[in-house]
Amino acid sequence: MVVFLLMILVQSLNCTELFDIKGNQVQIKSLGDKYFVVFHSGLSCKDCYISLGKVIDDLEEKKPTYLVTNYSDNVYMRKTIEEMTSNLMNYKQLLFIKKNKTCLTFQESLEKDMSPSMIYVSGDRIISFKFNELFKEGYSESSIKELIINKLKIK
Amino acid sequence: MKYIFLFVFFTCSVNAQNVLQDYFSSSEMILLPQTFYPAHYIQLKFKNDTIVALNRKIIEIDSTLLIEIFRNNHIDTVKLARKLDSIKYNAILDFDFIGTDLLLLSSYEIQFYKKSRNYYEHYKTLEFPYLCTQIMVFDSTIICNAFYPTMGNRNDSTICKTIAINTITYEEKLYEYYNPKGLQFINLQPRKIMDANKSKILLSSITKYEIIVYNQGNPIDTLSRVSNFWKQGTSSERPDKDILGDRVPQRNYSGMMDNQDKKSLMSNVSFQGDYIVASWTYPDSIKSKIKYFDVWKMEDNKYFPYLVDMVEIDGFKDLEAKFNPNNFNNGLYYCFNDSCIATVVNLSLPITKQFDEKTNKEVKEINDDNVLENKLRYNLLVRKIKW
């Protein structure tokens, strides 16, 4: 099951169309070899973004973080998301994902899962962190950190 | 010949759909201050025919919490009574005035403020046990409406209530109403299902075209009609029961989002002088919803359909067309007085005569560039209604 999910994520990431705030397409390769992708589909839990951001900043091995959300044709929407999220957590760049039939599975997981959820990309290796996993009842920054470190096996 | 005539007549009738924006004229654009951002923090209200905008975003300066009010191109600052313990940025829900005194509605209380030289200063707080989200003042009565389900009122027989408060004696009267159908969809904002006009209250269902008008708590009229552009959901599409007593999951947004894409939902009902304006969404295709408007007119204390199935067109869709502010969509939030409609629109520049000859495409490009290079700003659009 886990292997299947990872396959979907790898496949989805490869066929994903990403754009920057100006609407210019961004090549996935340009994101680097190792990075975090935090998925945003709403701000119903602002504290979750704050806690997750602090934990990522606090990791010994620094990796860039990209915040990914759904693409909107409306510049106002894109700018609003940037202005509302930039003070919640540090990220290198806000990226927008465009609806693409070949990437429906990835798209659905972004829309259905509560946000923030996250993946860690290291070359061809992708490790996913579901919302419910990161933000269990009574979660704390240390519980999030422990989970991330255990899954990444980095200290 | 007769059949040809009938065919032509039928075709014309189908195609000649009423467009909402055709009923608007002589628009006025006012650039809102930069601090009035983002749009969902901006609350609008007409007071004595002047449009007033409240910026609900709380600014903290030297441990003092401030919010701003904008009218007649002037900003007034309000020193908030105390640190609000609830969700900081959503703590102020609505506002109105008694004369020059400002009333701020904050969840379970009304805060009263007097205008001093530079600030509105707090002088009184009135608490009540209900989560009210609307406040309106008519003559000597303050009307507060509650229609938002919370964990605290799960076991209440009804959530929808009005508290009418006398402005001199502060005597309170409570009116309760039946819960409208589909109340769980109130969680998908923006949505306005209650409004008041003096002693009258209107309360709309969300999943059914049914608006009930109450007077002093008693139902006096029901506005209901069958529209070709209302798509009724089936029971199998409902994620939750319509009765709130059966516990509605607080954050089952994904189920609701799927559901709202399949059926019509009432999105805004408002009094507008002798009229009631109702708007709802029609799911044209996934992620694309068309907004329709009906206008009901009052005659002999009863409301009748006056203009029906008016479609709101995307005013910027035809990029080659000449730019015309009358064609803007109503934004997330809009409000009425007897003759005007006001809304916040996504234009970040002052609209001057230089825009008169431009196309939608040209205005869009100028605006987009400006948005990307600067802080977001909005315009307040006030249009005259001519129905």
- pLDDT for B88 equals 43
Contact (Cβ atoms closer than 8 angstroms) between residue B278 and residue B204: yes
User: Cβ of A80 and B376 within 8 Å?
Assistant: yes
User: Cβ of B254 and A79 within 8 Å?
Assistant: no
C-beta contacts of B67-74 below 8 A and 24+ residues apart: B67/B92, B67/B104, B68/B33, B68/B35, B68/B36, B69/B95, B69/B102, B69/B120, B70/B32, B70/B33, B70/B36, B71/B47, B73/B30
The Cβ-side half-sphere exposure at A19, using a 13 Å CA radius, reads: 15
Interface test with A, best of B187, B316, B319, B346 (most A CBs within 10 A): B346
Partners of residue B376 in chain A, C-beta under 8 Å: 76, 79-80, 83
Interface test with B, best of A45, A46, A80, A84 (most B CBs within 10 A): A80
Among A22, A42, A114, select the one facing B372 at the smallest CB separation.
Answer: A22
CB-based burial label for A43 (10 Å; 0-12, 13-18, 19+): middle
Q: Looking at the predicted structure, is the pLDDT value of residue A107 above 70?
A: no
Partners of residue B375 in chain A, C-beta under 8 Å: 83
Contact (Cβ atoms closer than 8 angstroms) between residue B56 and residue B67: yes
Is the CB of A101 inside 8 Å of chain B's CB atoms?
no
- pLDDT for B239 equals 46
Tokens encoding B328: 């803007």
Whether residue B190 is preceded by a cis peptide bond, meaning omega within 30 degrees of 0, is: yes
User: Cβ of A114 and B251 within 8 Å?
Assistant: yes
Strand partners, A36: A65, A120
User: Cβ of A80 and B38 within 8 Å?
Assistant: yes
Euclidean distance between CA atoms B180 and B5, whole angstroms: 45
CB contact burial B278-294 (16+ within 10 A = b; e otherwise): bbbbbbeeeeebbbbbb
Tokens encoding A139: 């979660």
| DSSP of B230-286 | --PPPGGG-SS-S-GGG---TT-HHHHHHHHTTS-EEEEEEEETTEEEEEEEEEEET
Contact (Cβ atoms closer than 8 angstroms) between residue B140 and residue B100: no
Q: Looking at the predicted structure, is the pLDDT value of residue A111 above 60?
A: no
Euclidean distance between CA atoms A101 and B286, whole angstroms: 13
Closest by CA to B287, choosing from A113, A73, A1, A54, is A73
Q: Looking at the predicted structure, is the pLDDT value of residue A64 above 70?
A: yes
Contact (Cβ atoms closer than 8 angstroms) between residue B77 and residue B62: no
- pLDDT for B57 equals 87
Return all residues near B365 (Cβ < 8 A) that are at least 6 apart: none
Positions of chain B with pLDDT lower than 50, given as ranges: 5-15, 86-90, 237-251
DSSP A75: H
pLDDT bracket for residue A126 (50, 70, 90): confident
Tell me the per-residue pLDDT of B244-260, one tens digit each, with 9 for 90 and over: 444 444 445 556 666 66
Helix (H, G, I), strand (E, B) or coil at B3: helix
- pLDDT for B305 equals 98
User: Cβ of B372 and A42 within 8 Å?
Assistant: no
Q: Looking at the predicted structure, is the pLDDT value of residue A7 above 80?
A: no
Tell me the per-residue pLDDT of B267-319, one tens digit each, with 9 for 90 and over: 999 999 999 999 999 987 655 779 999 999 999 989 999 999 999 998 888 99
Interfacial A residues in 8-27 facing B (CB < 8 Å)? 21-22
Q: Looking at the predicted structure, is the pLDDT value of residue A155 above 60?
A: no
Q: Looking at the predicted structure, is the pLDDT value of residue A56 above 80?
A: yes
Q: Nearest-CA distance from B114 to chain A in Å?
A: 32
- pLDDT for B248 equals 42
Angle at CA B78, nearest 5°, toward B74 and B84? 145
- pLDDT for B169 equals 96
- pLDDT for B356 equals 83
Between chain A and chain B, the number of residue pairs with CB atoms below 8 A apart is 29
Strand pairing class (A65-70; A93-97): parallel
Closest by CA to B195, choosing from B159, B147, B157, B156, is B147
pTM over 0.90? The answer is no
State in Å, rounded, how far the first CA of chain B is from the last one.
36
Sole residue written with tokens 């004595």: B48
Q: Looking at the predicted structure, is the pLDDT value of residue A109 above 60?
A: no
- pLDDT for B86 equals 47
Residue type, B273: G
Backbone angles phi, psi at A84, to 5 degrees: -85, -20
Is the CB of A50 inside 8 Å of chain B's CB atoms?
no
Interface test with A, best of B88, B368, B373 (most A CBs within 10 A): B368
- pLDDT for B61 equals 85
Partners of residue A104 in chain B, C-beta under 8 Å: none
CB contact burial A48-72 (16+ within 10 A = b; e otherwise): bbebbbebbeeeeeebebbbbbbbe
DSSP B387: -
